[in-house]
Amino acid sequence: MPEVRSRQASIEDILTSLIYDGSFDCAVVASGDGLPVAMVGQNNAPMLAAVAASMKDLAERAHPGITEISSRDNQGNRVVSRYFSIDQDLLLLTVKMPAKHTYRIAL
């Protein structure tokens, strides 16, 4: 019988590739409430998911329909969250990156 991988394991595989290819410190996929679905990398990923959910709530009050939030600390480290839906579930993809690191690719 073929092995059935869990949804969490599949997302973690994708996140592992994402942080490797993008040179990010960590990546988290969380529910809209900030509960981690899957996480990989260094640092406190559960806290990162909670911060992303808080940022989402603030952004939605300020500008409904926003799809991305970025914040930077005093040392230049950046946290970027993007919001997306799968079926009826709102999910947050959040990555943490070191200072002076870009996350966008010019096409």
| 57 — pLDDT class (breaks 50, 70, 90) | confident
What pLDDT sits at residue 107? 46
pTM of the complete model? 0.78
According to DSSP H, which parts of the chain are helical? 7-22, 45-62
pLDDT category at 4 given cuts 50, 70, 90 is: low
Q: Quick one: residue 62, left, alpha or beta (phi over 0 = left, psi -120 to 50 = alpha)?
A: alpha
Q: Give residue-wise pLDDT tens across range 76-98.
A: 888 888 888 878 888 888 888 88
Domains in the chain and their CATH numbers? 7-97 (3.30.450.30)
Residues 6 or more apart from 97 whose CB is under 8 A from it?
Answer: 22, 23, 24, 25, 77, 78, 79, 80, 103
